[in-house]
Amino acid sequence: MYHLDNISQKKGNTQILNGINLKIDEDSIFAILGPSGSGKTTLLNILAGIDRPTGGKFLNEDGQVERGIMVFQDYRLFPHMTVFQNITFGLKVKKTKGSDIKQRAKDITETMGISELINRYPDELSGGQQQRVALARALILNPKLLLMDEPFSSLDEALRIEMLDFVKELQRKFQLTIIFVTHYKTEAYMLSNKVAILINGQIMQVDAPKKLESNPQNFSVAKFLGQANFIEGSLTNDDFVSPIYSGKVNVVTEEGKLYLPFSGQLQLDQTDYPAFKGKIVEKKWMGSNSERVSIEIDKNVIYCDLASESVDENKEYQFYFSKLPVVF
């Protein structure tokens, strides 16, 4: 277990990180998800020993300071060195024996599928190949902790899925702890079943992807995750009043915004929480099993993901909440 103990970072008068507390299991993949400018890279730099925090500590299980090996967003392969020289850089500076270096380089390039590239220079590689080299350069050092900064953001869609699976495979093979930061929630959800949300230098929530989506802890998390309707209204005690829905709600914070995520919250099957009557004005295809429908209620339009072909356009339906809705 790695402990991030009240880590803070201040640069000039700007508080970049504010009392970060996290516990991260070993031999797992942990995602830190947040919008740009939230302090993700700053946090990762601290875990990599590149920056020193102005407050707090990062310790491993034995209470020791441990430095993670970083795979940078822009890879940072040394442009004046060949792939082989790049990969073996970390071993060379540690004065590892030459025969050892060769063997380990051979092993890691085979694992990464880059054996044919060892005499090339970084600018002769594709983005995906560069990433494999960057991973090889880190993994040849047998790190326990691997840090990845926006690892897949510069890859195209197909390659991204391929690399996601590959990184998962590497994690199992080397029994690594991987901490990675990203601003793509799908990336975080696909790679990790424990995701921390970092907004404005603070950890807002640590949860499994499904729980994050269904129970965001506050308005900023809900807003960042997106894919939801926020309906303005007024609150009196536990009663919410708005043109779309008026009635009982679960009040989390008192900003007066009803949170209706596109999926999971609204349904046609009857529950104890009737929502509203609305007319279907549009349907959009969202993959083979679901479609996003636009529902008009009293001239207001909200969106909702429903099973394919469950509603028809220009017809009115009664909707229900699957559980008591939340107001932020």
Partner 1 sequence: MASKKFTKLIVYLIFAILVLMPLFVIFMLAISKTWSYPSLWPKWVDWGYYFRFLFTSKEIQSSLFSSLELAVGTVVLTIVIAYPTAMALAYYDFRGKKLLNVLVYLPLIIPSIALLTNMDFIMIKYGLNGTFFGVVSVHTLFCLPYAIKLLYDNLILWKDKYEVASRNLGASTLQTFFKVTVPMNKSGLQGAVMMTYIVSMTQYLATLLIGDGNYLTLSVRMFPFTTSGKYRMAAVYGITFMLVTLIPLYLIDVWVTHKGRKIA
Binding site for partner 1 (CB under 8 A): 48-50, 67, 69-70, 72, 74, 76, 78-80, 89-90, 93-94, 121, 137-138, 141
Strands 29-33 and 177-182: parallel
In angstroms, the CA 323 to CA 274 distance is 10
CB 126, min distance to partner 1, A? 19
Nearer Cβ to partner 1 (12/287): 12
How many residues comprise the chain? 328
> Cβ(72)–Cβ(134) under 8 Å?
yes
CB 48, min distance to partner 1, A? 5
In angstroms, the CA 175 to CA 172 distance is 5
Q: Write b or e for each residue in 205-227: b if 16 or more Cβ atoms lie within 10 A of its Cβ, otherwise e.
A: bbbebeebbbebbebbbbbbbee
* The residue to which tokens 């060195």 are assigned: 81
Nearer Cβ to partner 1 (141/286): 141
CB 270, min distance to partner 1, A? 58
CB 141, min distance to partner 1, A? 7
Nearer Cβ to partner 1 (39/209): 39
Angle at 151 between CA 100 and CA 56, to 5 degrees: 85
Nearer Cβ to partner 1 (72/317): 72
Nearer Cβ to partner 1 (47/302): 47
> Cβ(275)–Cβ(319) under 8 Å?
yes
Nearer Cβ to partner 1 (23/78): 78
Q: What is the DSSP letter of 13?
A: T
Nearer Cβ to partner 1 (89/317): 89
Tokens representing 278? 């609305």
Tokens representing 313? 């356009």
Q: Using CA of residue 157, residue 160, residue 41, residue 253, what is the dihedral sign? A: positive
CB 12, min distance to partner 1, A? 9
CB 31, min distance to partner 1, A? 21
Tokens representing 312? 């028809």
CB 76, min distance to partner 1, A? 4
